[in-house]
Amino acid sequence: MSNTIGNNLLHQSLLYPTVLEHQGRINSSTCIGGNTFFQSQATSLTQKSSISTEFLGNRLKVRRHKLKMGKCCSSSRSRSTRAVLAADPSSGLTEKFNLYQNVELQVDVELPPSGSTSVVNIQVTSGIDSLLLHWGAIKSHTKKWILPHHRPVGTTVYMDQALRSPFEKSGSNAVLRIEIDDPSIQALEFLVFDEARNKWYKYNGGNFHVKLPKRESRSPNVSIPEELVQVQAYLRWERNGKQNYSPEKEKEEFEAARRELLEEISRGASIQDLRTKLTGKKDTSESKEQLVSGSKSSIPEDLVQIQSFIRWERAGKPNYSPEQQLKEFEEARKELQVELDKGASLDEIRKRITKGGTQAKVSKQPEKKNYSTGERIQRKKRDVMSLLSKFDSVPVEEKISLEPPVLSAIKQFAREKEDHIDGPIVNKKIYKLADKELLVLVAKSSGKTKVYLATDLPEPVVLHWALSKIPGEWTAPPATVLPLDSVSLDKAAETKLAIISTDNQPDKVQSLEITIEDDSFVGMPFVLLSGEKWVKNGGSDFYVELNTGSVKNKDAGDGKGTSKSLLDKIADLESEAQKSFMHRFNIAADLMEQATNGGELGLAAIVVWMRYMATRQLIWNKNYNVKPREISQAQDRLTDLLQNVYKSSPQYREILRMIMSTVGRGGEGDVGQRIRDEILVIQRNNECKGGMMEEWHQKLHNNTSPDDVVICQALIDYIKNDFDIGVYWKTLSDNGITKERLLSYDRAIHSEPNFRREQRDGLLRDLGHYMRTLKAVHSGADLESAIANCMGYKAEGQGFMVGVNINPVSGLPSGFPFVLTHIEDKQVESLLEGLLEAREELRPSLSRPSDRLKDLIFLDIALDSAVRTAVERGYEELNNASPEKIMYFISLVVENLALSVDNNEDLIYCLKGWNQALSMKKSGDGNWALFAKSVLDRTRLSLTSKSESYNQLLQPSAEYLGAQLGVDQSAVSIFTEEIIRAGSAASLSSLLNRLDPVLRQTANLGSWQVISPIEAIGYVVVVDQLLSVQNNTYSKPTILVAKSVRGEEEIPDGVVAVLTPDMPDVLSHVSVRARNSKVCFATCFDPNILASIQASEGKLLCLKPTSADVVYSEMTDDELLSSTNSKDDVSSAPSLTLVKKKFAGRYAISSEEFTNDMVGAKSRNIANLKGKLPSWVNIPTSVALPFGVFETVLSDDLNKAVASKLDILKRDLDEGNVGALGEIRNTVLELSAPPQLIKELQEKMQKSGMPWPGDEGEQRWEQAWIAIKKVWASKWNERAYFSTRKVKLDHDYLCMAVLVQEIINADYAFVIHTTNPSSEDSSEIYAEVVKGLGETLVGAYPGRALSFICKKSDLNSPQVLGYPSKPIGLFIKQSIIFRSDSNGEDLEGYAGAGLYDSVPMDEEDKVVLDYSSDALINDSKFRHEILSSIARAGSAIEELYGSAQDIEGVVKDGKIYVVQTRPQM
């Protein structure tokens, strides 16, 4: 259709929703006004039937009042004959013809009194009940058949060239009545077809021709209102198959609609009668009609339509009643009339309302769907925090028995066999045979394929088997393959299984080993003969693949981290579930209660099982015939239960969405039944009953599956692409369907499609309709199907085919017409906005009880999927896009992800960050790129966190169930990864990768951040985590490329450099230790550079870092030797010794008593600051438990048992059992406090003005005592223990004092290095600041702190180097902290800082940080004041000590507090 009529009919949802019901009844793909009107392919109304042209022949002369046969020699006709019945206009006529033997045809033509409609009655005197009339009509000046819109019930269109109407039984006769109300039709032509016998009845080889009487044209002098003509034109368009009309055809259709209405007027109908008929309601106001006729003449109807559309949009796109729609039309007309009355011209009005956005809305090009990119949906302003979905995680961990499970005889055999196989296992299955089992194990060994079979069937077993070079075929095995005593048959062989003895197993096991050397065999079909009984695989042959190409799991493991009992039950029921989707969905429904009771782990089991099904890792159907209706009912039952859990347990909504996305929507029977019925209609309508279509039909009847959606799409693509069979196979292949899979169905599909060109349009139309039915059952995430299901639609039954009536869901978003109109736009920005606006509007409905909640969930899942698809399609749009556009796209995808997941607080703050970055860019803020980079880093961390949570939740279940069911190891190992890839997180990650280099270039960040600028030469080793290798010792100089660095690891011995894409803080523990150990340490932001270095694994590289870059080059071993010789023993490393400290007789001391013999440097330095710094630098009050207190407490009689236990554990540790470290720490926590310790500590704390925990109750003192013991126990943490061993420090000489300070409930925490550690520039201070407590800065907390430098010559000019990306802040109420202060932390040349723990008495609160409301980020004046104060404090402390300092402190209410300082290493 052209733009004009397209727009008129497109927006009938505003004017005539009653009309849309007709659309539904014709089985349209949706009832939404929008692009779905144009989905049918263009067809011709006037294309000639091949049958009609074949039989056009000489006309027979027929006399008036009587029918006779004769001949006509008219030169205008071809040389064939046809029967002609001519009717006198004054009376009805009857004539009979002999068709075949005793079968007669009688034709009656009559005129009713009105004289406007001709009636043709056709009767066949026969008991045949399968007769069809194959017919068309003839207009003047044409030989072509046209297809009248007024047709008998049950009429179908044959190849868009003829009509086929079924005869009805009337006694022993078959009758048919045809009414012709089109005055331009002059004759009917027909043949009679016996469908059952495939027999045609003709007249002397030609068509029967019935001339209709000429009628006087009565054209009453009445004006039909244009809106009624539009409705009638719409109905004609529907009846004609919703074709795409040319402008000329449009005009013709409008005039035909007008003639039809005039015909009804001529028969006595009034305008009011027509209005009531077309809109379904009687108009009680006569003045309305007068208004129409009185005003319409001055204003063109197209302008009225556009104005009414604008009014409808302004009103929020409501669903108007027919009466209200007409009223809206006239109100629009009135508005335009007012403008005319004010002096505006029609041209001025037209320009105003057809320009800009409005023009875009009404200007559609349905053929290409390439809509104006100027059209955008108006997004509502919302508080981003309204998206918050936050639940406390309450894991339900299933208790796993530590006792090993009792294995069956077959599982025991399998385990023993696997232990002795020296090659990979490529296939493993254990089949359930009632209460017995059958093992099939395929392994590769020494270039040969070995097949092991074992069963515990009690009767003697014979294997009846073959080999296949084509999957499923039976070919006799070669003699070289046959085991001893085998019998060779025609296409098979038979071999007896041998009985073997197994230890501790009461059941005997029979087994067989077959060795195959020929790799051309791909499979082995077989059956078993047990005694006198044949044993099959559910009625089918067993079939084992010999070359799967992937290794299978050997062991299911212990099921830790899973709902093991549920997974075991699923594994036991899998053989039953394989029968059909009906069985699988019903079993899943039966297990839902247990899954829900199992919490996240229980539901994870269902996710994994359903996902393995959806990805075809499990058998879909095994020789079991199930009606589609039964499958959809089972789906409906399961999805109803999922819906109920979604309502009752909102904390599980994210995982429930995962399950629902793998399960089709289902239906209440009728939709599923149409799968079975409609394929028959397609075959009949398009004469394609044989070949591939018949095979598919048989498969559909036997067991429909999601594969059928792909097959249907492949057929549509094949037809659209000029019947290119390559396109058919490509669509199948792209969606995972191979020839082998088609052959594997119980009703196999062997043939390729082979259609005729004249079948094209009819098949495209019918398959397009059929696709909706398939998606309604199988595709929960199909957007068009999901929208239609929520908006409601009708599809009436035809003959045997059931009807469907889906009611609309109330309260739906209004933007679906926009979304569907633009769903295929190449420029996707406005589409993304529309999709997200729809999701935002839909969101409240997802939290409210509703009987149709599952339909809304499926709709939301489909919208989510559409966002991902649109983003991927929009990548090309971003190739040369500005940073603002990429950031805006990212913000939309972050919003979409936040709408899809639970516990989305971090994502919401990321979204606020992106919005802030966009605002900074628009306002011209020079730091916009630096800030956007911090938001990008945080967003990446959020994605990583979500990925890790998915992996923790799902992967253990995937591995356990995958092993149980014999799923390919490749599918098991990437299970969680594939789930993540399928969501919008993958699209978001890709967008971040696009933006990152742009931001780094704009902010002058470069590709590296050099943390420790040390030149290094070493061999490249790639590892996943630095933590996993921190205790290793490398014999050669090694450059470690570690994907993950947390910030608290040790640098392994032998490592000269650590390179990572991770983002540890420059002042984190691992960074400090790298600099102290003279190890090169750098973060690489460029994935291409990092990949290049990783590709050099095993090679020798030379690294030359600067303050902002790392230059690397390959070296030879000789160059390494030369370099080493030149540096040999320039200075020997200083020898490190510890002096064992003794107990000084006091359990607690005040800061005035801190001395070298009593406490470590940490305590002494903080005490030394008191009274020596400017008054605005605050120092917290401190006391300490000095050296020797731990050893004294341990030797107290209270703790003899603890001391004895520790001695034993330390001896184990000395003997190399590092596992004793954890036991030692736990044993330290068993210590009891001597009363004297409690007394002295209380006195010192109270005297110093510190609160005494015991004043708040005994429990509070116990908390403090546990914290003290944890500090002592940290002497034996792994990191510290291995670090002291490496430098050969005597661990027994290490003594631990405990510094006690009151915690300041900080707004911010900072660390200062008074010499820039990256550039080693002593003229500038480097500092990092985090929100909350400083543990997130120095500990293993992901993300970066705010970093800045400040020249010592200008302490009032701090320069921000990077904004914070840490997602978590630690906050605590007023409390006490107990800090480690050992004699081994500040040895010269030893990086001991941070090895031991500082423990607060109370647990910190982890808070997800919102930087958009942080004054340090948003208030430049406040930021300047705080950063300058931190820099000045650092400068003052350095000046006091006379050397570079490493300083820790906090900010509270704008005040600076310094909590410790030490020499910068």
Q: Give the active site residues.
A: 1069
Structure tokens, 1438: 């350095």
Q: Residues 1091, 1114: contact at Cβ < 8 Å?
A: no
Structure tokens, 377: 């949906």
83-86/208-211 β-pairing:
parallel
Cα-based distances in Å from 77 to 54, 82, 186, 1152: 12, 11, 17, 126
Q: Which of 923, 890, 1145, 971 is nearest to 617 (CA)?
A: 971
Residues 1079, 1096: Cα–Cα separation, whole Å: 20
Cα-based distances in Å from 1146 to 1153, 1189, 1190, 1244: 11, 8, 12, 11
DSSP-assigned letters across all residues of 1113-1166:
EE--HHHHHHHHHHHTTSSPPPP---PPP---S-S-EEGGG--TTTS-HHHHHH
Q: What is the largest CA-CA distance in the chain?
A: 140
Cα-based distances in Å from 1012 to 384, 657, 1057, 1074, 1329: 40, 46, 9, 7, 19
Give the gyration radius of the chain's Cα atoms.
42
Helix (H) or strand (E) holding 1258: helix 1258-1273
DSSP-assigned letters across all residues of 214-275:
P------S-PPPHHHHHHHHHHHHHHTTS----HHHHHHHHHHHHHHHHHHHHTT--HHHHH
Residues 170, 188: Cα–Cα separation, whole Å: 23
Helix (H) or strand (E) holding 761: helix 760-778
Q: Residues 1454, 1416: contact at Cβ < 8 Å?
A: no
List 467's β-bridge partners, or say none.
475
Indicate the burial class of 399 (C-beta count within 10 angstroms; 0-12, 13-18, 19 or more): exposed
Helix (H) or strand (E) holding 784: helix 783-791
Q: Residues 107, 87: contact at Cβ < 8 Å?
A: no
Q: Residues 197, 213: contact at Cβ < 8 Å?
A: no
Residues 655, 664: Cα–Cα separation, whole Å: 16
Indicate the residue type of 210: V
Q: Residues 1386, 1161: contact at Cβ < 8 Å?
A: yes
Q: Residues 691, 760: contact at Cβ < 8 Å?
A: no
Q: Residues 422, 937: contact at Cβ < 8 Å?
A: no
Indicate the burial class of 1438 (C-beta count within 10 angstroms; 0-12, 13-18, 19 or more): buried
Residues 1105, 1097: Cα–Cα separation, whole Å: 19
Alpha helices of 928-1013 — where are they, by DSSP H?
A: 928-965, 969-973, 975-981, 984-1002
